[in-house]
Each structure stands twice: as structure tokens, then as C-alpha cells.
Amino acid sequence: MYRDFITLGKLGRPHGVVGEINFIPNEQYSMALLKLSRLYLGEKKDVVEVLSFRESPKGGRILFKSHDSRESVKNLTNLIVFTSRNDLPLLDESEYYLADLIGATVRDVTGKSIGLIQSYYSNGAQEIASLDVGVDIPLIKGVFIKSLCIKEKEIRLLVPEEDLIV
């Protein structure tokens, strides 16, 4: 039901001479997940051990155990950074990762299907779900969201479809 890997962001350019590389998070919550000791890079999901992580103005800087020079991390630039769901903390039943919403059906107040969630992003104030029909919905429970069921992959809105801006 869930994807095995969650995308955290991508690697930027090398920083300094000891092998640090810039990390560009997908969203602000990706930064908290970088306390993990193991990450996966690129399409092949190559495993890398994290030696250290520190925040920077535009994201973070990572030092991998297997890379000790600027030259050794240069070829990692632009690789997508993943974490394994198995490496993440267990969640309570009422909690979920935003990645779990991908593919969820969104229904209006009458139960009519509006579309499927394709992606999500943060606008700084709240998380926003982007639907396959060109509609973005703020993920604010009690304001826009009536109910959210991860097991059923379904979100019910408090508003009718005609009130949504396309």
C-alpha cells in the first residue's frame, strides 16, 4: 500500500574541501528526517551512511562516511535523496507522512470524486495537495478537510466542488 521510499530532496553542489555537499529539501519537514544515519541516492537507491548533517540558509549540508573530498561528492550533484520507510519512526494511527497522500482520492462534501493527489508542497503557512485536475487544496483539517483516511486513501472536503478554484 505504501511506497518503500520517501523522497526528501536533492543534492546540490559540493561545499568546501572535506566532502560536504549541499542538500535542497522538498519541504521544511525533510530537514527533520535528515537526522537519519542512512540515506539512499539516485534512481538506483545507492545506500550512503551519513557522518554529519548541519543546517544551512537554503537547506542543509551533508557529509557522507564514504566521501572525504570535494571531488568525491561532485558526481552526486543533482541526485535525488530518499529515505526508507523502514528507517522512519513508527507513527500513531492518526499520523501520516505527506508522501502517503499521493494517489489518494479527494471527494467534495457530497461524496463526488474531484481528483487524485499527484503531489504536495508547502507554501510556508500550510501544506498544499495538488490534484491531477489542476486544483490545489490546503491540507487544513476542520477548514477544508472534513476527514482523511490513509488506509482508504481518501480525503473528504468540507466544501462542494463548485467552490474550488481551478
The closest of 90, 103, 48, 96 to 73, measured between CA atoms, is: 48
So what's the pLDDT on residue 1? Answer: 37
Rounded to 5 degrees, what are φ and ψ at 107? Answer: -120, 150
CATH topology of domain 5-87: Elongation Factor Tu (Ef-tu); domain 3 (2.40.30)
So what's the pLDDT on residue 123? Answer: 78
Q: What is the secondary structure of 85-99 as a DSSP string?
A: GGGSPP--TT---GG
Residue 145 contacts residue 156 (beta carbons within 8 Å): yes
Q: What is the pTM of this model?
A: 0.71
3-state secondary structure at position 34: coil
Q: What is the dihedral of CA 73, 75, 77, 80, to 10 degrees?
A: -100
- 98-159 CATH choice from 2.30.30.240, 3.30.310.10, 1.10.10.10, 3.30.460.10: 2.30.30.240
DSSP 163: G
So what's the pLDDT on residue 164? Answer: 67
Per-residue pLDDT of the chain (166 residues; tens, 9 = 90+): 346 888 888 999 999 999 999 999 887 666 666 678 899 999 999 999 999 998 888 888 999 999 989 999 999 999 999 999 888 888 887 788 888 889 999 998 888 899 999 988 877 788 889 999 998 999 888 888 999 888 889 999 987 667 666 5
Q: What is the dihedral of CA 14, 16, 17, 19, to 10 degrees?
A: -50
3-state secondary structure at position 82: strand
How far, in whole angstroms, is CA 124 from its chain's centroid?
A: 14
User: What is the bridge-based pairing of β-strands 145-149 and 154-157?
Assistant: antiparallel
Q: What ranges do the domains of the chain cover?
A: 5-87, 98-159
Rounded to 5 degrees, what are φ and ψ at 102? Answer: -60, 130
